[in-house]
A and B are shown apart, each in its own frame.
Chain A
């Protein structure tokens, strides 16, 4: 199960612990871009102990050695190199049958088209034009030959659902989501391309109140989505989550 340490990712860990009597029975994978906020590394260390996680960390060192960086490259390229390619390498190494992801339909139009169980071919391709039907709790649970299935339990949740659930269950999340000096992060990614939004919401109740009224999109502070038209579509077709 990939773990970005973001709010949705921490909800997933919580659900996994609930589903499996307190223990996450599978390994977690952090694709470390080396551009995480310092708070996130602290949180990673703390949460790994707290949840007793079996954590794998992968870095695309080759790309970093080749000089791929936000200083010299565009965000779509860096995201592809440091996230997608690192994920693909881990998939090749471990040959997992399934990846449990925390994506949601309301984040992005291409994610809106996703299924709860979404097959990926051996080449990692998402065949969005011919997706399996899913109904009555029956899903495409058998991975295609050489490929894997993306299992996406949060697909139907909204950003507000996530926050209300975090409040109800008191799930630990990084403090970057709360406002400091009139700004807070609504979505977290690599620090050079993730920008805070104006907000006074410094408690979870205020965040929820803010979200009830907002009409701006959650990922508006994530530069790679807006770098060019269809950026998200291009990233996802190549295996980005």
Chain B
């Protein structure tokens, strides 16, 4: 969420009780645009001269005037040839202001409908009285239930085409009510309308006197804002920590509940507690409470560790913390959502790598048939288990919606979203037979990789690899080091220093690294491996895994001046005869994946350089390695 989101958006005036966002959905050609055009016209929300302009244009083209053209003209869709997208259209009733999020159908419809509906308080679902309930009438309701849009008004349109027949209307109402009930939804109203003629849109229909309920405008005025759900626990995702001056200000938006000075707070995951000292508002104002939807900056009584991503809550009503949960998701990605592949999960301000560890079922968006499979195609809905690389704080959606829902990012694109339905115990396994690479990836939260640190003695291979290992370990990665010197005193203690023996030593180190990587680990190999040919053989032998050559580079003179093991001194005294870089050759890598100049950058920078390369490698793990 943007720190600049209008926290003050609840600005109220005597006539305006806050704009209500409404999404209009329904099957293609069931009359959504006509309805919106008519509603704008009848509520006198159109710009001056717009209707005359459109009527004139129609006459010039020899076409009959349609209310749908009004909308098109308003959006300049046709002449600008912009693919239709979610667009806000504003109108007012006597009671309040509205924004209609019109979502007409086209190829990218679902993505835009999700964008629109996710911010809507209510949905108007249009069904053609003549055609009845169609695929999209059902599909849209499924998405509305997933997006948490609970207020629904069903408009049975084109009543004029069925002779304003009450029985037809009631038949659709009965059928669709039963379908909605299967999704846990209930429509607030069913309203028979003829949008073309304005029947029951704003004006009560004379020809459908049998209908005693409200018009659409009246039904809209009866809806409530869902942003202000009372009785939910405090959830404030931390968006940043400011240190502009002596103050350390925790910033974020209260997504549910409310926040007061003096209250105890716990920051999860992490779990340290303290109390709120004071709000640090600019301009200085006296706020006793920060309500849902408003942003806050505040100081704490104790200087505990707080970071972006954590959720601030009251200790007595804290969110869950875990690494695995079951969720109902919708997928909009270009590529299918695949079991075992790496994605990023965004919940509140948390942003962590995550994997699909199980797909329970996939629901086809058109037929609503549930199937089994290893991947979720575009525009489908699925019931899955997600596992994150590090623990996250979350709620079940039915307990606290705002922190019970998340987005999934594939590469740099938001490609899906979902709601959390239940906690999954992380020890739970569901597989049969052989353990697959995908299961290993799911357990670790990342794929394997081999990093081959090569360089002269004293170039910093061990120091750098230890630093990288520490960082990976601390962030929850499965990591270990394979050290060439240690192997020399164990597995390879039978080998000498002839070229053949050195080649064999490298081969054995590669084999050991490969075995560890097969378990799903990130393996850091530190070995001089002076000959390019030996290193190339290792790379080929380990082709089943991501292999990164890390050239730890420093000039010989620098290495000799460091001489951490006193080896250069021994060489100079003649105590060692074969020594890489002095008496035997070192073939520097020509095209390493990572090239670290340890004489030019400090350890912290070198570590970051390696970590960045690992991050890219383990985010796209291969799922097909042969164990």
Q: Give the interface of A toward B (CB within 8 A).
A: 12, 15-23, 25, 100, 105-106, 109-110, 112-113, 115-117, 128-140, 142, 144, 151, 153-154, 156-158, 161, 164-165, 168-169, 215-217, 229-230, 233
Contacts and interface: CB of A to CB of B under 8 A. Distances in A.
A153 B4 contact: yes
Nearest to A230: B80
A157 B6 contact: yes
24 contacts: A15-B6, A18-B281, A18-B282, A21-B280, A112-B88, A129-B82, A129-B108, A133-B111, A133-B332, A134-B115, A136-B118, A136-B405, A136-B406, A137-B1, A137-B2, A137-B5, A138-B406, A140-B412, A140-B413, A153-B5, A156-B6, A156-B88, A168-B11, A230-B79
Interface stretch (B241-249, B258-266, B306-314, B604-612): B241-249
Contacts of A138: 1, 346, 406-407, 414, 417
A25 B244 CA distance: 9
Contacts of A22: 282-283
Nearest to B280: A21
B115 A135 contact: yes
A134 to B, nearest CB: 5
A128 B283 CA distance: 38
3 interchain residue pairs of minimum CB distance? A135-B118, A22-B282, A137-B1
A168 B88 CA distance: 25
A15 to B, nearest CB: 5
A169 to B, nearest CB: 8
Q: Which of A15, A158, A229 has the most B CB atoms < 10 Å from its CB?
A: A15
Contacts, number: 138
B363 interface: no
B412 A142 contact: yes
A140 B251 CA distance: 21
Contact of B82 (A113, A116, A137): A113
A239 B422 CA distance: 45
Given A132-B414, A135-B118, A137-B1, A156 B11 contact: no
A200 B322 CA distance: 62
Given A19-B3, A112-B87, A137-B1, A161 B74 contact: no
Nearest to A229: B79
Contacts of A131: 85, 111-112
A19 B251 contact: yes
Given A135-B119, A138-B417, A128 B82 contact: yes
B47 interface: yes
B513 to A, nearest CB: 32
B120 to A, nearest CB: 10
Contacts of B575: none
Nearest to A134: B115
A156 to B, nearest CB: 7
B99 A156 contact: yes
Contacts of A136: 118, 402, 405-407, 417
Given A21-B280, A153-B5, A134 B414 contact: yes
Interface residues of B, number: 58
Q: Which of A25, A128, A136, A165 has the most B CB atoms < 10 Å from its CB?
A: A136
B8 to A, nearest CB: 7
B88 A105 contact: yes
A233 B80 contact: yes
B2 A139 contact: yes
Contacts of B7: 18
A21 B247 contact: yes
Contacts of B86: 113
Nearest to B249: A21
Contacts of B46: 215
A209 to B, nearest CB: 11
Contacts of B13: 164
B413 A132 contact: yes
Nearest to B74: A109
Contacts of B80: 109-110, 230, 233
Given A112-B75, A133-B111, A233-B80, 16 more contacts: A21-B249, A21-B282, A105-B87, A105-B88, A112-B87, A113-B82, A129-B108, A130-B108, A135-B147, A136-B402, A136-B405, A137-B1, A138-B407, A151-B2, A164-B11, A164-B13
B485 interface: no
A21 B242 contact: yes
Contact of A153 (B6, B83, B90, B348): B6
A110 B405 contact: no
A153 B5 CA distance: 6
Contacts of B119: 135
Nearest to B349: A137
Contacts of A15: 4, 6
B75 A19 contact: no
A62 B5 CA distance: 38
A161 B114 contact: no
Q: Which of A100, A106, A113, A161 has the most B CB atoms < 10 Å from its CB?
A: A113
B175 interface: no
B64 interface: no
B536 to A, nearest CB: 30
Contacts of B249: 21
B297 interface: yes
Contacts of A19: 3-4, 251, 295
B88 A144 contact: no
Contact of B75 (A21, A109, A154): A109
A118 to B, nearest CB: 11
Contacts of B48: 215-216
A104 to B, nearest CB: 10
Contact of A16 (B4, B76, B414): B4
A128 B2 contact: no
Interface in B209-256: 242, 244, 247, 249, 251, 255
A168 B244 CA distance: 27
Q: Which of A16, A18, A129 has the most B CB atoms < 10 Å from its CB?
A: A18
Given A134-B115, A151-B2, A17 B332 contact: no
A142 B147 CA distance: 24
